[in-house]
Amino acid sequence: MNLYPKAIITRSQNVDCNIVVTVFGWVGGVDKNVEKYTRIYQKKGYTTIQYTAAAIRIVPCMDENPNYKLVFHTISTNGVFTLCALDLQYPELRIFEKCEGMFFDSCPIHNNSDYLKVVKAYSLVMQHLYDSQNLNFFSRNFSKFWANASFIYDTVRDNTLIKIGYVSLENVSPFHYILHHPNLPKVISFVYSDADIVCDAEVIKSFEDTVRYRGRDVISTRFKDSLHVAHFPKYPKQYIGQIDEFMKRIEKKIEQPVQEEFLAKL
């Protein structure tokens, strides 16, 4: 498994399109699977960047054109972590200020609710990740044990630091970092499911309700039976239809200031 893959960039043939859609994949996701999502945007004429690991490798791709508009399609918690890491490590890119919309698939969630449920969900992800690797019995099980133990330690530590007032939620929780970001985009889309045992639908719904209350343009689908990061494979027409509406609203909001400026000059 390549822990530091390169970003996959596909440039639009439409020279007038300055929207770049960045798709952040899930833990254990391979390029050929994440590519199915980027291909949706490519067919619509957008430049895409696909990535599934550390944000550092994506920076040169985003720093080429200062006039681009960003759209983020984040899949699962790994996508959310990557988005936050990019903003924190490279504030000079101003990615939230340039962002016109965010599409959340099976996310975001936070780890300061039900400890047992969160740990169980994380262990399932690690089991899937390491069982899919070509490792011997000892290496596979030791890796799962170490990953789970580290996660439990980090979760307990972070929640303890929050309770004693040493850090804020925004410092340790990507969920709250994005939720309380001053430059949260105007258009936000959600796809999640009650059948997802990894990312709790009620936690995602709480994020959705908050941004909706704050006046964001929200598009949301809550399925009943699709599993974690399996909404697109199970409901492809509905998923693509939601992306269509998502991008239409983004383009409309981008065009609106231009039209208002033109009318003001008449």
Tens-digit pLDDT profile for residues 47-59: 999 987 654 555 5
Tens-digit pLDDT profile for residues 158-201: 667 667 776 666 777 889 999 999 999 999 999 999 999 888 89
- pTM of the entire predicted model: 0.82
| Measured CA distances, 160 to 48, 122, 164, 226 (Å) | 40, 19, 6, 34
Residue 30 has which token pair? 């391979």
Cβ-in-10-Å burial (0-12, 13-18, 19+) of 123 comes to middle
Select the more confidently predicted residue: 204 or 28: 204
Tens-digit pLDDT profile for residues 214-251: 999 999 999 999 999 999 999 999 999 999 999 999 99
Which ranges in the chain are annotated with CATH 3.40.50.1820?
A: 8-110+174-265
Residue 253 contacts by C-beta under 8 Å, 6 or more apart in sequence?
A: 100, 186, 187, 217
Task: Determine phi and psi for 174, rounding to 5 degrees.
Answer: -55, -35
| CATH superfamily of the domain spanning 8-110+174-265 | Alpha/Beta hydrolase fold, catalytic domain (3.40.50.1820)
Which H or E run contains 140?
helix 137-163
Share in percent of the chain as helix, strand, coil (round to 5): 55, 15, 30
Does the structure show a pLDDT above 50 at 133? yes
Residue 86 confidence class, pLDDT cut points 50, 70, 90: confident
Helices (H), 25-90: 31-43, 59-62, 76-89
Tell me the pairing of strands 19-24 and 187-193.
unpaired
